[in-house]
Copies of this chain bind each other. A is one copy, B any other.
Amino acid sequence: VTALEVADDSPFGVDNLPYAVFSTSGRPPRVGVRLGDAVVDLAAALGTDGPDAAFAAPVLNPFMAQGHARWIEVRERITALVADDVPDAAVHAAGDVALHLPFEVADYVDFYASEHHATNLGRLFRPDAEPLTPNWKHMPVGYHGRAGTVVVSGTDIIRPSGQRKDTADAAPTFGPSTRLDIEAELGFVVGVGTPRGAPIPVDALADHVFGAVLVNDWSARDLQAWEYVPLGPHLGKSFATSVSPWVVPLLALEAARIPLPCQDDPRPLPYLRASAPWGLDIDLTVEWNGEVVSRPPYREMYWSPAQMLAHMTANGASARTGDLFASGTVSGPAKNQQGSLIELTRGGREPITVNGEQRTFLLDGDTVALTGTAPGAAGGRIGFGEVRGRIRPAP
């Protein structure tokens, strides 16, 4: 048996306990929980009797589907377990395990919930119009992305090809994207779904959302600009979306709750008004080839996760275990707080310095890693780990 030691400043203390799906050589993927530098195999530590059989699944979906009371119960059992000695067979060094896509993605919806980002993008994509569309402050605008191309951190990103047309070009051409970008986002994972015709009230988020992940919604800006009117982004986004392997339980983020920005002009419609609204005080970082180029503050987001979920189901759309909804790019008011390269470089017109080089969009071989931390219940900061991807050349 092992007494798990956790450094005081570890982002994976007992107030975090994020879940992942991991594997060790020769054994199938199963559910693990992170504590310090260790991964605890839940099937080995807690058994697989009855509902605990979910710990032996190769995705978190069965456990997430068990609901809020069960999420609390398991968190309490894990807290008790790691306070004591853990069986050796259940403990792995975090560096020794492979981490897998933590959940089977049902539907993926991406929102656009940062006023700073929406304003910046509006100026770049529609320079002759008001940057915020008239609907933007009335609803969390969003669209469906491709669930089948959500990949786990560490998966290489193959540069997409597609149609692009500069305003000066007479006709579009086809080829590898020359404006490959990132979007630093936070994603929320639905554990308990709903049938059609039963919208999720804005106050019911905690009954449905299991946890949060970091999301990099890779974007080919040249493809996106040419395709997106009138039906929205499609191939400019659908080639890959990366998520972090560790799902931070919503239960661990209670200490990170903060008030939302003022929503008085206009006031949202009643279905978007929470009785006790909250945002999240999460600090993101964007590392480009190892150099931090931006620190997007999630606390600046206009629309809350609860508002996104309420809006997504307000029309009676059902929700399913494994639904992923992401915030859209997190950008703060300052330039070094923007979550996409198109914002950081003003549409590619103002390069930034990365490792001494002047850079605009991603080149083959570049690596981007997003990290995130939040206040934890123990007074320090809890971590999301990272979501990382390296650009491979177009085939």
Contacts and interface: CB of A to CB of B under 8 A. Distances in A.
Interface of A: 106-107, 109, 112, 122, 125-126, 133-135, 138-139, 141-149, 151, 158, 160-163, 165, 171-174, 196-199, 220, 223, 226-236, 238-240, 266, 269-271, 311-312, 314-320, 323, 392, 394-395
A172 B126 contact: no
B266 A171 contact: yes
B158 A317 contact: no
A315 B148 contact: no
A233 B19 CA distance: 34
A314 B235 contact: yes
Contacts of A320: 148
A178 to B, nearest CB: 14
A106 B147 contact: yes
B318 A149 contact: yes
A112 B230 CA distance: 10
Contacts of A226: 135
20 contacts: A106-B147, A122-B230, A135-B163, A135-B229, A138-B171, A139-B227, A141-B231, A142-B234, A144-B234, A148-B319, A149-B317, A149-B318, A158-B316, A161-B316, A174-B269, A223-B315, A230-B232, A232-B232, A235-B314, A239-B315
A144 B151 CA distance: 18
Contact of A143 (B133, B197, B231): B231
